[in-house]
Amino acid sequence: MIDLHCHILPGIDDGAQSDKESLAMARLAVQEGITTIIATPHHKNGRYFNSKQDVLVKVAELNKLLTEEKIALKILPGQESAINGEMIEDFNNGQIMTLNDTNYVFVELPSDHVPRYTEKMLFDLQLKGLIPIIVHPERNREIHERPEMLYKLVEKGALAQLTAGSICGRFGKKIKSFSEQLIEANLVHFIASDAHNVTSRAFHLGQANDLVEKQYGVDMVYLFTENAELVVEGLNVYKEQPQRVKRKKFLGIF
């Protein structure tokens, strides 16, 4: 199993704070059946700055440590970039780290709103040959209030990633319900952990997959897991989910 979104690199953001904590996260990931993690430290979110080169160095160091500790887990480089007006310039300057050096790039929106320039920025990223993936849209207040905003972004080529903990109810009943609605409306393409530690923000990927299988069937689980594999390989993901889409009632925009 592949986890596309994880803050496992030590001491560079609000995730693991030491090698010891990174190793604890790694052991827990293996217990859950995760074999590969894309490390996605925060970048330019107002608190943390982790350039592409910094990420590559940290990933190499952690992989070496995992080998020494005989932990069967592979770490790949990535980044969780907060949306900002300099993303194109930063990509041109080699500051933006795509997921495993593919054309997929994480884009994090503020928690309380969707900036007015979001649609244009995602379009500009696509003009550069990148495929933007909006992380945890279910936890964005404005998208929760106006889900048609996410629909329009996805319709124009963006992808979206749900947090496993959201599906499991770790962020409350409202976010759990909204996450389910997004799945039903065919507006998400991946489930990832966004794990930060082994306690309050752990992985929960296995539990999330079990819940998805129970509610939507095993084909849905296969779609999400296969899409994660395709991202790692830099191949095109599946955008249509194996069920009838229920957009009209949910979005109210037709």
Local structure of 134: helix, strand or coil: strand
Residue of 138, 181, 130, 127 lying closest to 160 (CA atoms): 138
Model pTM score = 0.95
Local structure of 139: helix, strand or coil: helix
User: For the chain, what are the domain ranges?
Assistant: 2-251
Average pLDDT over residues 57-73: 98
**Interatomic CA distance for residues 158 and 90, integer angstroms:** 19
Where residue 141 falls (left for φ over 0; alpha for ψ -120 to 50; beta otherwise) is alpha
**Interatomic CA distance for residues 225 and 56, integer angstroms:** 25
More confident residue, 244 or 102: 102
**Interatomic CA distance for residues 172 and 168, integer angstroms:** 9
More confident residue, 247 or 126: 126
Give exposure, 37-53, as e/b (b: 16+ Cβ within 10 Å). Answer: bbbbbbbbbeebebbbe
| 234-249 per-position pLDDT tens digit | 999 987 665 544 554 5
Beta carbons within 10 angstroms of residue 127's beta carbon = 9
What the block records as the tokens of 102 is 């593919």
| 168-200 per-position pLDDT tens digit | 999 999 999 999 999 999 999 999 999 999 999
What the block records as the tokens of 2 is 């592949």
What the block records as the tokens of 171 is 């962020």
CATH entry, 2-251, from 3.40.50.300, 3.40.50.720, 1.10.3720.10, 3.20.20.140: 3.20.20.140
In the chain, which ranges are E strands? 2-6, 36-39, 42-43, 74-77, 80-82, 104-108, 131-135, 159-163, 190-192
Phi, psi of 118, rounded to the nearest 5 degrees: -60, -50
Residue 92 has pLDDT above 60, yes or no: yes
